[in-house]
Structure 1
Amino acid sequence: MFDMLGMMNKVKEMQAKMKVAQDNLKHITVTAEAGAGMVKATASGDRRLLKIEVDETLMNPNDREMLSDLVVAAVNKALDEAGEKGKEELKKQTEGMIPNIPGLDLSGFGL
């Protein structure tokens, strides 16, 4: 027999754990670089840009376009890596709670 109350409690438990896991993402940080380390970008697991570091040698008005390209590259790498780490953390926090059902799309939950 189907236990509706038990199922509802499992759903509430899963929602609470997902909320905690999502809140923890802001504490995960990733730093990526471009231009052999001349530009570094740091992002959090919830895909927020936290910091940009630029080597002083790039502070030349003649190198504006190169600086812009390197900043974009470093930021994109940091956000991609932060997103991956965030997904890993969410999966780790919710492991065993969500059944592995073929075709079940959980992308809306950040998984």
Structure 2
Amino acid sequence: MNLQKIMKEAQKAQRKAAEVQERLAQMSVVGSAGGGLVEITANGHGQVQGVRLKPEVLDRNDLEALEDLILVAIQDAQKKAHDLSEKEMSRELGGIGSLLGKMF
């Protein structure tokens, strides 16, 4: 394979990766904790977009439990976003896409 062909393939892969990144920004995942008492919505990059709390989770005497549930839900949303990113990159770019997905 000549250098020019390799460069064209690299540019093609770069364009596809950029397209996937744009799509991921429009996708969303929902992380949850406490059996759905706390839900965090994030985009495909793991950026938090929204928080939903069920009323029964609100207890002024136990704010630490609520803080823990929020943290767990955020971590769940971020993991789901990471998995989505890897899946989308791999689908578009094959083996190298999985590697790129881990980077974002």
TM-score (norm 2): 0.86
1:81 and 1:17 map into 2 onto residues whose CA distance is: 21
Gaps of 5+ in 1: 99-105
Q: Which residue of 2 aligns with 1:32?
A: 31
CA RMSD in angstroms, aligned pairs only = 1.7
1:47 and 1:33 map into 2 onto residues whose CA distance is: 14
Paired residue type of 2:62: D
Judge conservation of contact 1:28–1:86 (CA < 8 Å) in 2: no
Q: Which residue of 2 aligns with 1:110?
A: 101
Paired residue type of 2:38: V
1:3 and 1:82 map into 2 onto residues whose CA distance is: 37
What is the aligned residue count? 101
Shift of 1:77: 0.6
2:25 and 2:59 map into 1 onto residues whose CA distance is: 34
Q: Which residue of 1 aligns with 2:60?
A: 61
Q: What pairs up with 1:16-95 in 2 under 5 angstroms?
A: 16-95=15-94
